[in-house]
A and B are shown apart, each in its own frame.
Chain A
Amino acid sequence: MARKGITRRLFAGAALASIPVASMVQAQPARRRVVVVGGGFGGAAAARHLRLADASIDVTMIEPKSEFQTCPFSNYVLAGFKTMADITHGYGALTGRHGVTHVRDMAAAIDPAAKTVRTAGGQTIAYDRLVVSPGIDMRWGALPGYDEAASAVLPHAWQAGPQTTLLRAQLEAMPDGGVVVMSIPGNPFRCPPGPYERISMIAHYLKKSKPRSKIVALDSKDAFSKQGLFQDAWKELYGPMIEWVPLGQDGKVVQAIPGEKTLVSEFGQRHRGDVVNVIPPQMAGRIARDAGLAATEGAMAGWCPVDPFTFESTRAKDIHVIGDASIAGAMPKSGFAASSQAKFVARAIAASLAGGPQEAPVYANTCYSLVAPDYGISVADIFRATPNGIVAVQGAGGVSPRTPKDAAQFRDQEAHYAEGWYASATKEIWGS
């Protein structure tokens, strides 16, 4: 369906091109309007790059918050060497320099037929094209005993903000000799290497400040992102302080008991922690699901199917779903991937609204993880669209080498690049 949609627009574009410019200008109705739902890595990048691609487009970003706190680098707040201020970015450059209209309200409903978005505050905003980048919601209750109230006791800290601050405070209050217990969900979820970087960063903090403590990570999987690199580093840097329990060794948590700070595994083992961090199962943000943009059955239920060439929803015309909420084939749910999608989709929408040609996308992902402040590892890939989905280019990309020459120097260099990566990636979206 979506492929036919593209073709139709291309034919329309060709027809438009044959009309003399003067009459085309007269025929132009109002300014073209693109509405963006969400102000994170996907949404804010889309808004900015739409304006950069064509400053004649009116861009409205609907985002309730006045500033954004990034999940990338939030693990370093937990470790104590970054602050919340370090990971907080405002929208001043987007609105001031780039002319994006920021509606500080929650998008409450989408009407794909009328092409409008209604906000919780009662505004109705019309669009020619809509970009939906709502990130994730937790699937409260999917892990029995773990609902929103439980997250006040057993924080997830999987959306940066008060949850990050809460988990940090709990780690600081824990006595030396305490046990941190973590639960890691099955695929798919936001930031595949994130839980393992978090294990590393909590271990780094414990080693420095509470050396008799340990961290037990209960995993619903047997394999994970950058696994060999993480496990080599854990052994080298943290030894028995880290215990990772895979699915095959009863690592899958099936119940949370907040009142007892306890997680129960599949075969009935109870893990009581002094601090318990539950990373729960997730799904696309509510606005996308309520608008009917998410699949309702199958392994990808709760996530949004899209055209791999345009990120246009396969379930609604003129609506593009990007970032963690989308089903993006081989692309991981990462902030960097979301902004890569945003940059391409912004230019594709601008071209399409102007009647220009469709071009083939190239998407990228680059993600650094720190295992210690001077020990960085990375994963990178270039992605292409095929009619069957988005695939990584074979023979390219991949993770850092397992045994590089001058290993200590290599890891230290990548740790420096992790800082540079964050600085550039956030500058490109929120910077002045």
Chain B
Amino acid sequence: MTRFRGTTAGAVFVIAAVACVASAQTIAPPSGATLAATCTGCHGPAGHSAGAIPSIHGRTEADLLQAMLDFKNDRRPATMMNRHAKGFSDEELATLAREIAANWR
């Protein structure tokens, strides 16, 4: 990119636009680890709760996904989880369930 310095304003604009597209394309969707980091503040490190909020480690992927989808679709009563689960796409909830089941023993 450096070699384009000093060209016309128009060329600089084109380069900037290309750079924007490039960065948009190279930002990956949130990983399982990033999604799971939104859980640990309440459910504890690796899902080991320190208090009244349920621990969520050691569960199967299927159970976790079902629970989160039920919270999201208001099929399961909750004080808080129905509000949180609606913040994620179904695909993200699947990634989350896979991440937690695989890593939170």
Contacts and interface: CB of A to CB of B under 8 A. Distances in A.
B22 A7 contact: yes
A8 B26 CA distance: 11
Contact of B86 (A7, A361, A396, A413): A396
B9 interface: no
A220 B42 CA distance: 32
Interface stretch (B50-58, B61-69, B97-105): B50-58
Contact-residue bracket for chain B: 35 or more
A382 B27 contact: no
B14 interface: no
Interface string B68-98: 0000000000011001111110000000000
A328 to B, nearest CB: 15
Contacts of A362: 30, 34-35, 37-38, 88
B26 A417 contact: no
Given A417-B79, A424-B42, A359 B19 contact: no
Given A358-B26, A359-B29, A366-B80, A423 B50 contact: yes
Contact-residue bracket for chain A: 35 or more
A427 B44 contact: yes
A150 interface: no
A362 B89 CA distance: 12
A425 B27 contact: no
A354 to B, nearest CB: 14
B87 A344 contact: no
A420 B79 contact: no
Interface in A351-397: 357-364, 366, 378, 380-382, 393, 395-397
A410 B79 contact: yes
Contact of A423 (B26, B51, B84): B51
A378 B79 CA distance: 9
B51 A420 contact: yes
Interface of A: 3-4, 6-8, 10-11, 309, 336, 339-340, 343-344, 347, 357-364, 366, 378, 380-382, 393, 395-398, 400, 410, 413-414, 416-417, 419-428, 431
- Top 4 A-B pairs ranked by shortest CB distance? A382-B87, A420-B51, A420-B52, A423-B51
